[in-house]
Structure 1
Amino acid sequence: MRVTEIIADLPVADIDAARDFYADYLGLSNEEFNLGWVARFTSPESGAHVQVVTKDATAPEDAAISVKVDDVDAAYAEARRRGYEIVHPLVDEEWGVRRFFVRSPDGTVINMVAHRV
């Protein structure tokens, strides 16, 4: 497993209010996606981005970060081998990702994710 990107998952109460701040004020004006409960805003110049989440639509807890990996199945197997708590099982989500949530030893919930091909 190789980590390819880490994205902060910031909790917000309202996606539209978040858009006003992150897109209009900070200039992260490229809305990569918006599923109604999660959206990502990206700078068209630098590629810097932030992901905002009101409440995860399918998981029992919200993640603090999303870690994109090249092989999510290998990441899942390794997390289980190490005895880490799996918060949300390995699943194919309808929006095109395969993911699971794992709790780090300090208690942080991590969304381990890969886009399906």
Structure 2
Amino acid sequence: MRVTGIIADLKVDDLDSARDFYANYLGLSDEEFNLGWVARHTSPETGAHLQLLTRDATAPEDPVVSVKVDDVEAAFTEAEERGYEIVHPLTTEPWGVRRFCVRAPDGNVLNVVQDRT
């Protein structure tokens, strides 16, 4: 498994009201997607991005980051072998990703994800 990217998942109360600060003030004006509970905003100039998250739609806990990997099955197997707590099982989600959530030893929940498109 190789990490190909990490995206911060910032908890917000409301995606629409948060948009002004993150999209307009910070310049992350490209909204790559918006599922109603999570939206990714990206700078058209630099490619810097973050995700705004009201709550995770299918996992029982909200992640602090999304870790993009090239082989999510291998990442899942290794997490299990190391005895890490799986918070959300390996799942193909309706929005086109395959992912699981794992709790790091420090307590943070990470969304480990591979885009299936």
Normalising by structure 1, what TM-score?
0.98
Partner residue in 2 for 1:79 = 79
Letter of the 2:106 partner, please give it: D
Matches within 5 A, 1:1-117: 1-117=1-117
Amino acid at match of 2:25: Y
Partners in 2 of 1:12 and 1:85 — Cα distance?
25
Name structure 1 gaps, 5 residues minimum: none
CA distance in 1 between partners of 2:81 and 2:50 (Å):
31
Aligned partner of 2:18: which letter? A
1:24 to partner: Cα distance: 1.0
Could you tell me how far apart the structure 2 residues matched to 1:102 and 1:23 are? Answer: 29
Percent identity (aligned): 73
Which one-letter code corresponds to 2:41 in the other structure?
A: F
Shift of 1:17: 1.2
Cα deviation, residue 92, structure 1: 0.2
Consecutive unaligned residues of structure 2, counting only runs of 5 or more, are none
- The one-letter code matched in structure 1 to 2:3 is V
Q: How big is the shift at 1:50?
A: 1.1
Deviation at 1:43, TM superposition (A): 0.3
Runs of 4+ in 1 over 3 A off after TM superposition: none
Aligned residues: 117
